[in-house]
Amino acid sequence: MLRYKSGFPRPLLATLAFTLLVGCEQEAGPPPASRDATPVAAHQVSTRDLSRPLRLAATVEPRALISLAARTEGTVKSVAVEEGDRVKAGQVLAQLDVAEAAAELARSEAQMASAKLDFDRAIELRRRGVATQIEYQAADVALQVARSQRDLWLSRVAYGRIEAPQASTIIARHIETGEAVETQSTLFELADLEQLVLRLGVSELDVVHINQDQILPVTLDALPELRLEGRVRRIFPAAQGSSRLITVEVLLPSSAWDQGVRPGFLARIDAAIDPRPNTLVVPGAAVGSLDNGHYVYVIENDRLVQREISKGISRGRWTEIVNGLEPGETILASNPIDMLEDQKVRIVINHD
C-alpha cells in the first residue's frame, strides 16, 4: 500500500491546485474592456468615380451604300471602272448595248419631225381659214404623241449609260464586258468612304445618357495605336424588336479612310456616360431604410450612432450619398438592420 510522503499537508495542496487553475482560466479569456463589444466591419467614407461605363463594339460601315442596278436588259458593251476607283457624280461606269433602242429612237424622231410638219401646215391652213378646228386639234395631238414616243426611246437609250449617282468609291463590280444582264441586276456597289459610321445597339438604360453630336472615343482591333473621336450623328427613334436595343449611329472623322480604317473592321467604344467623378459613396449594404428616408451607423468612440442620410444613384456595390456624411467618417460596412443605436462595437475589419 502506497503512502503519502510529501512534506505539505493534503488540504494545502488542494488549495494551491485550485488557485493555479482559476488563474489560468482568467489569463486565457478576453480583456474585460472588449468582452461585451460586438466585432464589426467598418468603412471609411470616401469619393469614387460613379460615371456610367459604356463599352460596345460594332463593325465599321459606309454611311451610304448604293447598289447600282440595271434599268434595262442588254449586253455589256464596255466597263470603265474597277474596285477601288473613286468616281464623280454623273461619271459613266459602263455602257450597255442598246442598238435596238437607238434604232427606235431614230424612228420616233423621224415620226415627230413629220408630225411637226403636219402641225405647222395645220396652223397655216387655219390662219387662211381653210382648215377646221378639228383638223388643227388632230395635228396637235399627233405631234404630242410623236414627242412622247421620242422621249420614251430617249430614256431607253439613256438606260444603257450606267452613271454614278454621286461622288463615291467602287467597292464591288459584278459585270464584265460581253455579259448579258437583266433588268434590276446589280451591276456595281458604291460607297462614300469619307463617311464611315458605326451603328451601335445601345440599351435603354444607356441611351438616355447619349446626345446627338456627343463625342465618343473609338479604337480598332486592326489598328491598336489609332485613336479616333466619333460623333453621334443620330439616335434612331425606336428600339429593335425583342432586343430592345436602340441604334446609335456614330460618324468617324473624314480622315479615317486615309488613316487605314476600312469597312468591316471591328471598332470599340469605351467611354464614361452620365459623368459623376468624385462622388461621395458608401457600400450599398450599409444603408438602412426608415419610414421617411435612409440611414447609416457612424462609429464614434467605439459606439454606433444612427445618422440619417439622403442617397442618390447606386452603381455596382456603391451608393451615392447626397448629404448626411463627410469624407473620412467611419461607418458600419454591413447590413445595419440587426444593430442598435449606441451599441458598443469593436472594429475587426476596416474597408477603405
- Structure confidence by residue, pLDDT tens digits, 270-311: 998 888 899 999 999 999 998 889 999 999 999 999 999 999
From CA 258, how far away is CA 281, in angstroms rounded? 45
C-alpha closest to that of 160 among 109, 106, 103, 101: 101
From CA 103, how far away is CA 153, in angstroms rounded? 9
- pLDDT above 70 covers what percent of the chain? 90
C-alpha closest to that of 267 among 53, 56, 52, 54: 56
291 CB-contact burial (10 Å; exposed 0-12 / middle 13-18 / buried 19+): exposed
Residue 187 confidence (pLDDT): 96
Do the Cβ atoms of 203 and 84 come closer than 8 Å? no
For the residues 170-196, what does the mean pLDDT come to? 93
> What value does the mean pLDDT of the chain take?
88
For the residues 53-82, what does the mean pLDDT come to? 94
6-15, 215-224, 255-264: segment of lowest average pLDDT: 6-15
Residue 352 confidence (pLDDT): 66
Helices (H) and strands (E) in the chain, counts: 4, 23
> Alpha helices of the chain — where are they, by DSSP H?
10-28, 99-128, 133-158, 204-207
Grid coordinates of 190: 458604291
Side-chain-side CA neighbours of residue 51 (13 Å): 14
262/18: higher pLDDT: 262
Q: Which amino acid is it at 202? A: V
With a cut of 80, say whether residue 92 has pLDDT above it: yes
From residue 262, alpha-carbon distances to 172, 249, 270 in Å are: 14, 17, 20
The model's pTM is 0.65
Q: Is 259 left (phi over 0), alpha (psi -120 to 50) or beta?
A: alpha
Q: Work out the number of other CB atoms within 10 angstroms of the CB of residue 339.
A: 16
Q: Work out the number of other CB atoms within 10 angstroms of the CB of residue 63.
A: 16
From CA 282, how far away is CA 88, in angstroms rounded? 61
What dihedral angle (degrees, nearest 10) is formed by the CA atoms of 312, 318, 323, 325?
170
